[in-house]
Amino acid sequence: MPSDSVEEADLHALVDGEISAERRRKIEDHLLQHPEDAAQVENWRRQNAALRALYAPVAKETPPLSLRNAAHRNAAAGPAPIETGAIHWGRPSNSSRTVRRLDEVREARRKKAIISSLLTLLAGAVLAGAAVFAITHAGVSRGSVPQVTFAQGYVDRADVSYLTYVRDSKPIDIGADRMGDLIAALKLRVGFARAPDLSSVGLRLLGGRVAPGLLAPAGFLVYENDNGARVALYFERAEAGPAPRIAPRVDSSLTAIEWRGAGMAFVLIGPLGSEAMQISAERAAAEILAPALNEAPYP
């Protein structure tokens, strides 16, 4: 027990550093004469060391993102930042809340998140239903007026082939120097084996390939003018295909002209102007309709 001049509080103050140097010396002298008090002080120091050892690592952890700037927010500043990409069910941020309230707020936010998720799913279902209705009823609502929808036209298929192949470093499979192989491949796969000669309109045949068609394999011939502009002739058997477009389709970069002939659907597509493309298409159509003249250069 502490002596008359040294209270138990003094021993605690010694352990906690809450004592002057002069008083410290006096208490240490007391401990030398009272080993039971010295043992008590040593026990408290062990307690301190055990506590610090247990919790010191916490202070070395990197604080969560929500805490790093929490000191700069107040109740009006909104919720804490979301720390992960996981679903965030809410985080308390109002400084006036009690901890008991925090649990209630988290529960309320969780419910709100669940309701929000359900509403999102419902909205998605409504949109999907509307899309299905629009697709399945589009033809019916337009009655007897023939329409070529964007996804079903030969022009669109030709457009896809043009964007896929012509801008590729190897736009053709078989070059014009192997015309026999090209004609044979087109005849075998597409059922139509003519390569119109468009040199009279300044388009030189580079070659061709078999491309995916709308209903069957399609022929795809690539031409090039002196300026390096490439024009493609797309053709596919048109027995069951949609009606052709009446007017050329012109967009910001490509002009496409579609016509029918010899049971095939033809689309000439390229970056030339409408007039040049029209002349080239008429030339191609004439070449196709005059097989006797055309077959001579490409046996």
Partner 1 sequence: MGHKEDLFQNLDAAIPGLRRYARALCPGDGSAAADELVQAALERVATKIKAKTLGIGEDDAARLCAYASLTALAREKSGGSSVPRPCEREQIVAQGLANLPFVERASLLLVVLEGLSYDAAAGVVAVPREALVVQLMRARAALSSVDLRPPAPPMDGVRRAGAHLRVIK
Q: How far is CA 289 from its chain centroid?
A: 47
DSSP assignments along 229-272, one per residue: -EEEEEEEE-SSSPPPPSSPEE-SS-EEEEEEETTEEEEEEESS
Are the C-beta atoms of residues 284 and 198 closer than 8 Å to each other? yes
Query: Is residue 94 within the footprint of partner 1 (CB under 8 A)?
Result: yes
Helix (H) or strand (E) holding 207: strand 204-211
Query: Is residue 72 within the footprint of partner 1 (CB under 8 A)?
Result: yes
Ordered strands of the 230-237 beta sheet: 174-175, 204-211, 218-224, 230-237, 264-270, 255-261, 249-250
Nearest to 272 by CA among 149, 181, 166: 166
Query: Is residue 42 within the footprint of partner 1 (CB under 8 A)?
Result: no
Q: Toward partner 1, which CB reaches closer, 34 or 189?
A: 34
To the nearest whole angstrom, how small is the minimum distance from the Cβ of residue 139 to partner 1? 57
Q: Toward partner 1, which CB reaches closer, 86 or 247?
A: 86
Binding mask 256-275 toward partner 1 (x if CB under 8 A, else -) reads --------------------
Question: Quick one: which of 1, 5, 22, 58 contacts partner 1 (CB under 8 A)?
Answer: 58
To the nearest whole angstrom, how small is the minimum distance from the Cβ of residue 6 to partner 1? 14
Size of the site for partner 1 (CB under 8 A): 44
Q: Toward partner 1, which CB reaches closer, 77 or 289?
A: 77
Query: Is residue 92 within the footprint of partner 1 (CB under 8 A)?
Result: yes
Count of CB atoms situated within 10 Å of the CB of 2: 17
Q: Toward partner 1, which CB reaches closer, 74 or 120?
A: 74
Helix (H, G, I), strand (E, B) or coil at 19: coil
Residues β-bridged to residue 290:
none
To the nearest whole angstrom, how small is the minimum distance from the Cβ of residue 98 to partner 1? 5
Are the C-beta atoms of residues 269 and 249 closer than 8 Å to each other? no
Q: How far is CA 101 from its chain centroid?
A: 40
Residues 98-127 contacting partner 1, CB under 8 A: 98-100, 102
Question: Quick one: which of 97, 189, 245, 260 contacts partner 1 (CB under 8 A)?
Answer: 97
Query: Is residue 47 within the footprint of partner 1 (CB under 8 A)?
Result: yes
Q: Toward partner 1, which CB reaches closer, 103 or 177?
A: 103
| Residues forming the site for partner 1 (CB under 8 A) | 8-9, 12-13, 16, 18, 43-44, 46-48, 50-52, 54-56, 58-61, 63-64, 66-68, 70-75, 80, 91-100, 102
